C-alpha cells in the first residue's frame, strides 16, 4: 500500500505535504507551522522528520516551531546547509535514503535555486518537486540557469508516467493562462483547466502524465514550430518559454 498523502495549503498559495505509514509521519517543506500542527493534532499523528527541498523562506519558516513542538529531525541538502534551518541529516543527490520504510531517490533539481532537491518515493509513486516542476509550469530562475532547469525537468520527466507530482504552489491560474497562450489548441490543457475551475480536481498534485500533456515546459518539442525554433536545442526552446512566462 502507498503511504498516505495529505496535501496542506499554507500561507497564500503554498503546499506542504504529510506522508503517513506504519512507521510514522513525515513532512515535506514547512511554509508555516500552524496549519501543519493542527492537522497533525487532528489526526493524532506524531511527526518524526521534516524533509526540506530548498532554502526559500516560504518553504522553511515553520521549521523551528514545528521542531520545538514535535521534536522532529530535519533533513536537507548538504549543499544548502549553510542557508537552511539547522539540519540533523545532510543529504546529497544520488545517495541512498530511507524514509518510513521506503527507499527515496534524492534528485538534483537546481534552477529555481542552486541546491534545490526533489524527493521521489518510487514505491508509493510520489515526487515532491517544490519549485522545480510545478502544476502546468516550473519555478522562476532565481539562481540557476535555463540549462540547469531544463536538465532538472528532464530528470523528473524520466520518472514513471503515473508518478504523482507534488509541487510547492498553487499557481494554477497564472500557469494555466500562460500555457493556453502558447498552446491554445491543446484539448488536454483545456480539459484540465475546466476541471480545476469546476473544482472537480485539484491544481496539484497531478500525475506526470498530466503534466506531460498540459505543461508547456515539458512540451518543448510540440511548441517548437510555433516559436519559430524548429532547429533549436530543447534547452534553448525552454529558455525562450521561461523568458516569455517571466514577461507574461
Binding-site sequence positions for Zn(2+): 54, 56, 58-59, 112, 131, 169
92-97 contacts at long range (C-beta below 8 A, 24 or more positions apart): 93/117
Cα 85 → chain centroid: 19
Task: Indicate the pairing of strand 73-77 with strand 47-51.
Answer: parallel
In whole angstroms, what is the distance from residue 213 CA to residue 204 CA? 15
The number of residues in the chain equals: 248
- In DSSP notation, 95-147 reads S-EEETTEEEEEEE-TTSSTT-EEEEETTTTEEEEETSEETTEE---SSS-HH
Helix (H) or strand (E) holding 207: strand 206-207
Binding residues: 54, 56, 58-59, 112, 131, 169
- C-alpha span between 196 and 203 (Å, rounded): 6
Amino acid at each position: 500500500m502507498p503511504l498516505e498523502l495529505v496535501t496542506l495549503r499554507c500561507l497564500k498559495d503554498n503546499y506542504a505535504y504529510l506522508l503517513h505509514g506504519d512507521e510514522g509521519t513525515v513532512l515535506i517543506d514547512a511554509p508555516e507551522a500552524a496549519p501543519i500542527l493542527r492537522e497533525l493534532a487532528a489526526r493524532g499523528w506524531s511527526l518524526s522528520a521534516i524533509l526540506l527541498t530548498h532554502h526559500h523562506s516560504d518553504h522553511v519558516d515553520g521549521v523551528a516551531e514545528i521542531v520545538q513542538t514535535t521534536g522532529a529531525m530535519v533533513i536537507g541538502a548538504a549543499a544548502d546547509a549553510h542557508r537552511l534551518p539547522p539540519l540533523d541529516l545532510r543529504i546529497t543527490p544520488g545517495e541512498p535514503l530511507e524514509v518510513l520504510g521506503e527507499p527515496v531517490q534524492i534528485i538534483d533539481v537546481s534552477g529555481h535555486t542552486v541546491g534545490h532537491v526533489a524527493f521521489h518515493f518510487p514505491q508509493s509513486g510520489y515526487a515532491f518537486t517544490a519549485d522545480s516542476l510545478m502544476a502546468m509550469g516550473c519555478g522562476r530562475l532565481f539562481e540557476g540557469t535555463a540549462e540547469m532547469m531544463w536538465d532538472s525537468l528532464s530528470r523528473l520527466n524520466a520518472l514513471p508516467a503515473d508518478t504523482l507530482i507534488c509541487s510547492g504552489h498553487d499557481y494554477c491560474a497564472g500557469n494555466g493562462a500562460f500555457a493556453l497562450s502558447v498552446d491554445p489548441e491543446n484539448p488536454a490543457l483545456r480539459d484540465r483547466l475546466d476541471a480545476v475551475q469546476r473544482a472537480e480536481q485539484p491544481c496539484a498534485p497531478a500525475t506526470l502524465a498530466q503534466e506531460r500533456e498540459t505543461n508547456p515546459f515539458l512540451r518543448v518539442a510540440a511548441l517548437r514550430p510555433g516559436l519559430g525554433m524548429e532547429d533549436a536545442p530543447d534547452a534553448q526552446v525552454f529558455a525562450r518559454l521561461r523568458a516569455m512566462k517571466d514577461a507574461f
